[in-house]
Amino acid sequence: MLEALAPQPADALLGLIKLYNADPRADKIDLGVGVYRTATGATPVFKAIKAAEARLLETQDSKSYLGPEGDMGFVHALIPYIFGAGFDRSRVEGMQAPGGTGAVRLAIEVARRAGVRRIIMGTPSWPNHAQIVAAAGLELVTFRHVTPEGTADLEALKAVLADAGPGDAVLLHGCCHNPSGVDYTHAQWDEIAPLLASRAVLPLLDLAYQGLGAGMEEDAYGLRAVLAKVPEALVAYSCDKNFGLYRDRVGAFYAVTGDADALTRAMANGATIARASWSMPPDHGAAAVRLVLDDAELTKVWLAELDDMRGRMRQVRDRLAAAQQVGTIPMAPLGIQNGLFSMLPLNGEQILALREKHGIYMAGTGRINIAGLTSGNIEQFIESLRAVAV
Ligand code: LMR
């Protein structure tokens, strides 16, 4: 029966990894998939994680099952970082998930079971968002995320919310918008939060890059502003980037509600979905994060590493922004955008020319991974862009 299967295109973003690896050019530049790189182009294991892993190796005396919710010590250790030190703990519960993707999937499936039929989402977005919504069988309603001036389009969100209500969930990126790097300002979040509450929609907050924008606290501003106003929300969290644990798949799903019974049901439904999907999340990365967060010294080391990452990305952004205009591409906006990604207004032909003639790999949307640029290749990148963006 397998011949009846429809062919599927390979995932375009993940496909870039293979294309890049197969390119023999020594001066090729990888601006594709979202992984952090140091000034020498490496993606090392965090020192804090290495230390935690060593401790884990020494002390872990069993690999017996934990259950569909995974490592609850990990899940709870993250709560003050995400929700704030003073957050009412009786309003929130969570469970571990395989990466941010697993967390988004859990959030959307739980929303569906709660009666959500439409997911409202700004575009462009991380391509997997739409794919997960489709896999869950929900309708996707989109609105424009970025204005032509390069700011977050609050008016477009307001317009779509005017027609929204119970049965709708609104998926928002907590920080470091993927792919545009264009975040809502604090003032915009302050307007969004009461609006979501007044429309009685279910906010679904995806926080995959906390600490890579302006700082751990600063990057949680929007999420916390929303949770201060709405009665309930779902949160998808990823440690893949801010702990550098990409392939270990470390994420968490949280539900927030003042209704204790509803909270229990949200977790029970999450656990049922997890059991039928992956049974239990992978333990190792989450256990390492727990050990980091339970140890004040390791926490300090981790936060310092995160500061370094953020500082380096800011330097790259400043250098790109200083170029002002490269061919047809305005560069100044990159200086005020956040996180790993920005989008360059390039067409498909130009993106292909950058890859084939100049060995520069980026997503088909013109998204670049800022961390792929180093002092050793940034001038080459700018000159290649100048040659193509005419
Ligand atoms: C990205 O957008 O590059 C990352 O989130 C990796 C992924 O899973 O797509």
Task: Give dist(CA 234, CA 231) in Å, integer.
Answer: 11
Best CA proximity match to 128, nearest among 11, 291, 268, 31: 11
- Does residue 243 share a domain with residue 188? yes
Closest ligand 1 atom, residue 14 Cα = 9
- Alpha-carbon distances of 55 from 58, 64, 162, 288, rounded to whole Å: 5, 18, 52, 9
Centre of ligand 1 from the C-alpha of residue 246, in Å: 9
Question: Which of 294, 319, 347 is the C-terminal boundary of a domain?
Answer: 294
State phi, psi for 97 to the nearest 5 degrees.
-140, 155
- Does residue 330 share a domain with residue 285? no
Instruction: Flag whether pLDDT at 10 surpasses 90.
Output: no
Asked if the structure places residue 252 within a domain, the reply is yes
Q: Give me the domain span that covers residue 38.
A: 10-44+310-388
Radius of gyration of the chain, Cα coordinates, nearest whole angstrom: 21
Question: Which of 241, 265, 294 is the C-terminal boundary of a domain?
Answer: 294
Mean pLDDT of 160-174: 98
Asked if the structure places residue 54 within a domain, the reply is no
pLDDT level of residue 190 (50, 70, 90 thresholds): very high
pLDDT for position 386: 97
Cis peptide before 179 (omega within 30 of 0): yes
Instruction: Flag whether pLDDT at 28 surpasses 90.
Output: yes
Mean pLDDT of 253-261: 97
pLDDT for position 320: 97
- Does residue 349 share a domain with residue 213? no
Mean pLDDT of the chain: 97
Asked if the structure places residue 334 within a domain, the reply is yes
Active site residue 206: yes
Closest ligand 1 atom, residue 101 Cα = 8
- Does residue 164 share a domain with residue 16? no
Active site residue 278: no
Per-residue pLDDT of 300-315, as tens digits, reads: 999 999 999 999 999 9
Instruction: Flag whether pLDDT at 346 surpasses 90.
Output: yes
Catalytic position from the list 30, 153, 206, 219:
206
Q: The domain that contains 28 carries what CATH number?
A: 3.90.1150.10
- Does residue 275 share a domain with residue 239? yes
Per-residue pLDDT of 315-329, as tens digits, reads: 999 999 999 999 999
pLDDT for position 109: 98
Residue with the nearest Cα to atom 6 of ligand 1? Answer: 34
Asked if the structure places residue 125 within a domain, the reply is yes
Say if ligand 1 is within 6 A of residue 178 CB.
yes
- Does residue 69 share a domain with residue 141? yes
Instruction: Flag whether pLDDT at 149 surpasses 90.
Output: no
Mean pLDDT of 120-126: 97
Residue with the nearest Cα to atom 5 of ligand 1? Answer: 34
Task: Give dist(CA 310, CA 319) in Å, integer.
Answer: 14
Task: Give dist(CA 347, CA 351) in Å, integer.
Answer: 6
Say if ligand 1 is within 6 A of residue 126 CB.
yes
Centre of ligand 1 from the C-alpha of residue 45, in Å: 18
Active site residue 300: no
pLDDT level of residue 12 (50, 70, 90 thresholds): confident
- Does residue 184 share a domain with residue 101? yes
Distance of CA 183 to the CA centre of its chain: 12
- Does residue 211 share a domain with residue 113? yes
- Does residue 337 share a domain with residue 281? no
Question: Which of 237, 262, 294 is the C-terminal boundary of a domain?
Answer: 294
Per-residue pLDDT of 45-67, as tens digits, reads: 999 999 999 999 999 999 999 99
Instruction: Flag whether pLDDT at 234 surpasses 90.
Output: yes
- Does residue 91 share a domain with residue 230? yes
Say if ligand 1 is within 6 A of residue 384 CB.
no
Domain count, the chain: 2
* Amino acid type, 217: E
Q: The domain that contains 289 carries what CATH number?
A: 3.40.640.10
